[in-house]
């Protein structure tokens, strides 16, 4: 059924695979399809980035246009009739994927990204047979010249997602495409090793890589996607409230990955959020309240510890008055936790001495 044009509104009506959907004016065809849960294959697309149109897998057919169009860079227009799956589109996508795989290592058996690789998933979905095309393969050394990121240039498909997120989102300019033609690849200036001098180690490039070209070095060999349980949580390093997923295997956190639906950070993380999870299993981590007696710390229950704190504060307030008591909160706490501290100091103690380490 053809979509009826809409006038003077912020939404438009389009028809996709015979189904009429409404979408906000200015959205691309790909965005419209994603919002309607209509599958369109992509490799160079990341919702955090400007549309690139490089992989040519998101091609769709539009009635009245005599050639397939890249859905990520084509705005949806009122009354459009779009087809996302056809024999022609399947043939084009299979050819593109076969050409990508013609010089790909295809070592899925021992790749850390197996089961979590967009290229692998699309090759399976479109029933790609290896050997249709034969291309020259890279045999470049794997780069592990930093503590956090493993770079295997042989698995790079030149989608440019890593370089674009570094320049468009992080704005660090650590990596860009270097070289020309077959020898083009993302790398640092003069191929220098990543360090805190030229990289923020936010791991954004790893989060967007659709293959095993960029992986987390700290989690290498510790578990594939099917071996782990993903637990959504909130970062505790500051009060921003970034969400992410902890990858847990055998009750041990082995990796952190992005949560693209997170309202605060939309999948973006800093070095602490992505790689600073070692403290969880630190032998020095305090897991039980401690009470000092005769200069020695002893483990106590929460009731014992809170009871001691309450008695100390009660005695202090009785002797010196509530104005001698204050609360100093942390920016690593949530807004709700900081609010409760302020409420306790003002209501329970009777003092307005409340401060926060981020005030300055």
Share of the chain above pLDDT 90, in %: 81
d(CA 61, CA 42): 15
**Using one digit for the tens of pLDDT, what is the confidence trace for 69-95?**
999 999 999 999 999 999 999 999 999
The domains of the chain, with CATH numbers, are 11-85 (3.10.20.740), 134-281 (3.30.70.20), 289-317 (no CATH), 321-360 (no CATH)
d(CA 283, CA 285): 6
Share of the chain above pLDDT 70, in %: 97
**Using one digit for the tens of pLDDT, what is the confidence trace for 176-193?**
999 988 889 999 999 999
d(CA 267, CA 195): 23
**Using one digit for the tens of pLDDT, what is the confidence trace for 256-290?**
999 999 999 999 999 999 999 999 999 998 989 99
pTM for the complete prediction?
A: 0.84
Among 77, 65, 83, CA closest to 23: 77
**Where does the pLDDT of residue 4 fall: very low under 50, low under 70, confident under 90, or very high at 90 and above?**
low
Task: Judge whether residue 3 has pLDDT over 70.
Answer: no
User: If DSSP codes are grouped into helix, strand and coil, which group holds residue 85?
Assistant: coil
**Using one digit for the tens of pLDDT, what is the confidence trace for 186-243?**
999 999 999 999 999 999 999 999 999 999 999 999 988 888 999 999 998 887 889 9
Q: Residue 9 has what pLDDT?
A: 78
Q: Residue 6 has what pLDDT?
A: 55
d(CA 183, CA 255): 32
**Using one digit for the tens of pLDDT, what is the confidence trace for 12-28?**
999 999 999 999 999 99
Looking at every residue in the chain, the average pLDDT score rounds to 92
Q: Residue 203 has what pLDDT?
A: 96
Q: Residue 226 has what pLDDT?
A: 85
Q: Residue 189 has what pLDDT?
A: 93
Task: Judge whether residue 360 has pLDDT over 60.
Answer: no
**Using one digit for the tens of pLDDT, what is the confidence trace for 102-154?**
999 988 888 989 889 999 999 999 999 988 888 888 899 999 999 999 999 99
CB of 299 closer than 8 Å to CB of 290: yes
| Those residues with Cβ within 8 angstroms of residue 99's Cβ, 6 or more apart along the chain or in another chain | 133, 135
| Ramachandran bin of 210, using left for φ above 0, alpha for ψ from -120 to 50, beta for the remaining angles | alpha
């Amino acid at each position: 059924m053809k979509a009826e044009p809409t006038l003077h509104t912020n939404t438009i009506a389009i028809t996709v695979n015979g189904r009429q959907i409404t979408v906000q004016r200015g959205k691309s065809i790909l965005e419209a399809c994603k919002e309607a849960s209509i599958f369109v294959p992509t490799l160079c697309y990341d919702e955090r980035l400007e549309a690139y149109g490089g992989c040519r897998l998101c091609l769709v057919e539009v009635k009245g246009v005599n050639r397939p169009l890249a859905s990520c860079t084509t705005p949806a227009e009122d009354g459009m009739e779009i087809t996302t799956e056809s024999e022609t589109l399947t043939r084009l996508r299979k050819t593109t994927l076969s050409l990508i795989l013609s010089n790909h290592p295809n070592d899925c058996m021992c790749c850390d990204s197996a089961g979590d690789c967009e290229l692998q998933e699309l090759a399976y979905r479109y029933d790609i047979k290896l050997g249709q095309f034969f291309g020259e393969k890279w045999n470049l050394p794997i780069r592990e010249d930093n503590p956090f990121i493993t770079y295997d240039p042989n698995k790079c498909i030149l989608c440019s997602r890593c370089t674009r997120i570094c320049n468009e989102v992080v704005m660090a300019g650590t990596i860009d495409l270097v070289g020309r033609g077959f020898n083009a690849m993302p790398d640092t200036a003069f191929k220098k090793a990543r360090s805190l001098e030229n990289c923020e180690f936010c791991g954004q490039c790893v989060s967007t890589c659709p293959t095993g070209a960029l992986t987390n070095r700290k989690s290498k060999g510790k578990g594939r996607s099917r071996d782990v349980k993903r637990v959504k949580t909130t970062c505790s390093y500051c009060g921003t409230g970034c969400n992410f997923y902890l990858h847990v295997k055998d009750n041990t956190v082995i990796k952190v990955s992005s949560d693209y639906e997170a309202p605060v950070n939309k999948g973006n993380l800093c070095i602490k959020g992505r790689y600073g999870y070692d403290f969880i299993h630190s032998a020095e981590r305090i897991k039980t309240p401690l009470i000092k007696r005769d200069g020695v710390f002893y483990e106590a229950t929460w009731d014992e510890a809170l009871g001691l704190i309450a008695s100390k504060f009660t005695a202090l307030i009785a002797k010196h008055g509530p104005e001698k008591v204050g609360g100093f909160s942390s920016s690593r706490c949530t807004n709700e936790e900081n609010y409760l501290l302020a409420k306790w100091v003002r209501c329970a103690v009777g003092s307005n001495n409340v401060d926060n380490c981020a005030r300055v």
